Structure 1
């Protein structure tokens, strides 16, 4: 019998239809709130962005109008939605309901702050259910500043005349190549300025950096060739002379391959977050070139062989930059808050390590004037001490009267020798001079002043012998290891073997020569430094001067001229005085120390000689005068020519400055 299906049973497909409808309804109920939240969130974010944009525009324009005197300070507080130019309806910058917008304007100096408050509906969907829905208030604030000052400070070494031989040699040596620019080429570069704003924009385009991103540009690696090439293009576009452009192109063609890239931020000390205002200044082309070459030298590790004409032979001069020169640019208002911090404005000369080696007959000939001291009491006293310690005796002191018929006597005899042509090695670590902006004042009547301070760093001078030969000494000077200074041997206390033969009171002397004898003392066998020796060395550190205030730079043509940053600053340079030990080595060399060599037979002669105070002091005094007489006329032109070219010679340094009190740029400060 067939079983019947219950009448109340429904087909499965009918149940599935109900579940689908229910699922769709649930999805709609979930999506509608999500859509409402997303829409309202996006709308509020858009309104906030639009309000902030209008606050920025209002602050920028109001600050600029206030700076230019269009709006006075008393009227700033009365400004509102209808009176702020950029918010006016005819400008069309604000697209919302002006009735719901309020504006508050305040200032601090030339900084203007605009606060905008704007009421909008809490929710668009909420208004469907509740037309009188409450409103929320959005707020945006912006501060802009105009008429900011810009200061530039520069430090240079005064070069009276351009010597293309020295400049080509020094700068070419730093690059490890030969430069062939003429006097006219260098002079044209010295006389030409370049606008940094134009230069930075062109360089940014050349190396693919976003225009205006100056912090990025200053920390981006760039080649020396690109620096010079862009400089030539910018100067040519600005109408510079053909001589200047040609000089740069000539210099560019001489740049060797393999020079490492550099970062301009290490030679241009520009404040962080620099704006167009900060870099819209003029800089000497020669400063840019020298600083770039010096920085490239430091990065490359090249030790420059510098040819400086001395009129004498056997002179080696080498140099290595340890810190390139810098020029400072920035806002003095920021610098005043912390002159030694990241916003400080300072300029410094380069730091250079110099090696000079002289192997000159002229030195020996001057030192031979010590021969006159051999018969002086101080040398006699030294001889007596040596004879006593070594158990020696001068042949002949026994007394000829004992030789009535004949006698032969042999003794080792002291032979004091002045070395004729010693090698003199000199190492100079010349620290930099730093000029720093302390404060700047701009008065309403147009008077402006800028105060700076100048300090010099530590300088070390070493004189002696730094290695077995010149090359070894040079490698030791420029290595990272501490320099070992050995004394220059000046007096060799040696011995010779003397035979005295007497017959009937008539005596003759002969000197050992190999297996035989000779009557010529100069040919005799000699035991060098058997009795020790005397040498000299100098290893001194001279502290630089602490900060010294300079006279204020002022914009008074009858006093010290303080130009705008886009004007020629040549007339602003003023000299400052510093106790510079490098300017003349004659005073520095008077600090030489006397060193005593130990005898080769190992007794304690050196220690005993050090105890003979009068002898040592007299000898040092005599050597001081002679060495300085011999070396200063040679070293001074070498050192001064080299350091002048590198801008290190602090004794001749000059500091220049420029100050623009109010520029036509405006920027947001928050």
Structure 2
């Protein structure tokens, strides 16, 4: 067959094809090898820069470098970079060190904000200019615009310094157990303070008393529940949040599923004040330094104490009060009202280096119990015989002088107001030589009591005034003279007491306190006499106010005799009050107020102290 007629490829036309493919393959392999080598070179250089930046930021932060004053942060970072082979010797290398703060953006990512006056975080930026890759250089030969032969590589690192020492105080641990009697009193007290009724069982109260929640988890969940900014605890504590929401979040983060606790929380949530949407600020219960790291929030709170604080804050912002019936206290002829004037602060945490004794300093680590006001109305019908005796003794003399005696009308009642100022404790010093020898000192005061006896305006008492005015005198006998009759024209007697009781103060020294996050330990007590009112003794002196005659001559002489006759009441009334007020008010202090987290003569303070809670860490 003629070659021109042959339809298949000829062998001589395929010669050299394998060589062309081999050349193309070798060229591609060479190009890929250049890319790998160049990329590896740049990657290693970038990784080395990141290592230098990381170490410089960590060292500057761990040594508590600052950008103000001597600008020690830059010095520490430069020394670290030099030791790691990065020396700023020419214009191809640079390093920038800045101080500032960390915040979270809308996506909850950390963002560094430069601020030379603060050193909450240290940022280090290192840069090195190196030759551009060979592959990029070859590509630049065919580029219409000139491309720089060099490229600048940079690395950024942000580190936070070690956490400062953290101290925490707690005051007056809550009830350990609740029996049926206490449950009834708690239902009466808390329900009255919230303007409604409660019917929580002893098991429910015990569940609250034994349940604990983690404060950090609680605040994180609360921020999620109310759509607040995550991680901004200062703003969260200052936000008005409904008590119903606070209870709901507490129920959510409870580690154990206790049905009795859930029922108790649901019952509290249905009380008038809570159900109506009353809001409070958690900063009224938790005294935390501004900018406190999250490690300071990693602690447990007792649920009973937390809910008790909700009730106290809600009541201190209203004119509501609880009425305790006589059968609860076992006292006949007595009715008692209870009002919260100032809520307790359950826990305080912060840097003890910043703590001061100034009560207005936001850095003070300060806790207090609640300031409570009670108003007890006592039936004084037992004074009737004494008053009638005085009346019969002087009536004849007064009739000769055209005068008469006015006896306090029945029913004769006496108001006794007891203002229990809050006990308090604040950090005054600490040592952190080692965890075994660390100490914490706290200046601690028990409550100052103000006892007022007489006639007290109920509307003033139920207000939120921090100090009640002096009571009005309860008039027992009033000698009236003249036409028309003039009160106290010739004499008389009344009851009036306005007596402060001194507070007890000392410094509690805690040895080797537990770490932050552990149960407070040790718990130290400042103890006084639990029956403080009974022990007043002669402190009451003479509660009678005697009004002497103001007339001269025979009339004055006779009226002075009348006043002398009235003195017959002195021993009777003084003895009555001496045996009545102590037995009446001491149960009120020891039973009622204790259930509100207030111990008048005794206060328990627990402490925690972490000297070195963490090391410097990279955050960006």
Give the TM-score of the pair, scaled to structure 2. 0.68
Matched residue of 1:576: which SS? strand
Matched residue of 2:516: which SS? coil
1:594 partnered with 2:549: no
2:365 to 345, 348, 356: 345
Contact kept? 2:53, 2:81, Cα under 8 Å: no
1:636 to 586, 589, 594: 586
Partners of 1:139 and 1:618 lie apart in 2 by 94
The equivalent of 2:472 in structure 1 is: 486
The equivalent of 1:206 in structure 2 is: 225
Gap change, CA 1:616 and 1:656, over 3 Å in 2: farther
CA displacement, residues 446-474 of structure 1 (integer Å, 9 cap, x when unaligned): 332211111246543211112xxxxxx32
The equivalent of 1:537 in structure 2 is: 496
The structural deviation recorded for 1:277 is: 1.5
Partners of 1:606 and 1:61 lie apart in 2 by 92
The structural deviation recorded for 1:185 is: 1.4
1:477 to 449, 461, 482: 461
Gap change, CA 1:57 and 1:266, over 3 Å in 2: farther
CA displacement, residues 151-207 of structure 1 (integer Å, 9 cap, x when unaligned): 221111775753111111111111011111112211221122211100000000111
Partners of 2:554 and 2:122 lie apart in 1 by 83
The structural deviation recorded for 1:652 is: 2.6
CA displacement, residues 558-612 of structure 1 (integer Å, 9 cap, x when unaligned): xxxx32232223x532210358896558548714532246899999999997999
Matched residue of 1:325: which SS? coil
The equivalent of 2:40 in structure 1 is: none
Give the TM-score of the pair, scaled to structure 1. 0.63
Contact kept? 2:58, 2:618, Cα under 8 Å: no
Contact kept? 1:366, 1:630, Cα under 8 Å: no
The equivalent of 2:93 in structure 1 is: 100
The structural deviation recorded for 1:228 is: 0.5
The structural deviation recorded for 1:98 is: 11
Partners of 1:244 and 1:659 lie apart in 2 by 31
The equivalent of 1:239 in structure 2 is: 256
Stretches of structure 2 that go unaligned for 5 or more consecutive residues are: 1-48, 65-75, 100-118, 131-144
2:507 to 504, 527, 549: 549
Partners of 2:298 and 2:245 lie apart in 1 by 21
Partners of 2:606 and 2:381 lie apart in 1 by 45
CA displacement, residues 393-413 of structure 1 (integer Å, 9 cap, x when unaligned): 8xxxxxxxxxxxxxxxxxx79
Contact kept? 1:454, 1:548, Cα under 8 Å: yes
CA displacement, residues 415-465 of structure 1 (integer Å, 9 cap, x when unaligned): 796977520112222211111112232333533221111124654321111
The structural deviation recorded for 1:353 is: 2.3
Partners of 2:82 and 2:97 lie apart in 1 by 9
CA displacement, residues 333-374 of structure 1 (integer Å, 9 cap, x when unaligned): 34346664211111101112222222x2xx4326746888x6
Partners of 1:55 and 1:457 lie apart in 2 by 58
Partners of 2:523 and 2:558 lie apart in 1 by 56
The structural deviation recorded for 1:103 is: 8.6
CA displacement, residues 117-166 of structure 1 (integer Å, 9 cap, x when unaligned): 65789xxxxxx99x999xx9x99997732243322211117757531111
Matched residue of 2:314: which SS? helix
Gap change, CA 1:624 and 1:666, over 3 Å in 2: farther
Q: Which has the larger radius of gyration?
A: 1
Which piece of structure 1 moves more, 478-487 or 299-308?
478-487
Partners of 1:607 and 1:654 lie apart in 2 by 59
Gap change, CA 1:325 and 1:63, over 3 Å in 2: farther
The structural deviation recorded for 1:241 is: 3.8
1:443 partnered with 2:461: no
The structural deviation recorded for 1:259 is: 4.7
2:451 to 458, 461, 475: 461
Gap change, CA 1:241 and 1:199, over 3 Å in 2: same
1:128-139 matches, within 5 Å, as none
The equivalent of 1:221 in structure 2 is: 240
Gap change, CA 1:612 and 1:141, over 3 Å in 2: farther
The structural deviation recorded for 1:293 is: 1.1
1:144 to 160, 164, 168: 160
Aligned length: 515
1:155 to 171, 192, 196: 171
Gap change, CA 1:458 and 1:207, over 3 Å in 2: same
Contact kept? 1:583, 1:640, Cα under 8 Å: no
Contact kept? 1:435, 1:455, Cα under 8 Å: yes
2:575 to 625, 634, 638: 625
Matched residue of 2:241: which SS? coil
CA displacement, residues 198-252 of structure 1 (integer Å, 9 cap, x when unaligned): 00000001111111000110111100000000000001xx335444344323332
1:16-27 matches, within 5 Å, as none
Matched residue of 1:650: which SS? coil
Matched residue of 2:400: which SS? coil
**RMSD value, Cα:** 5.2
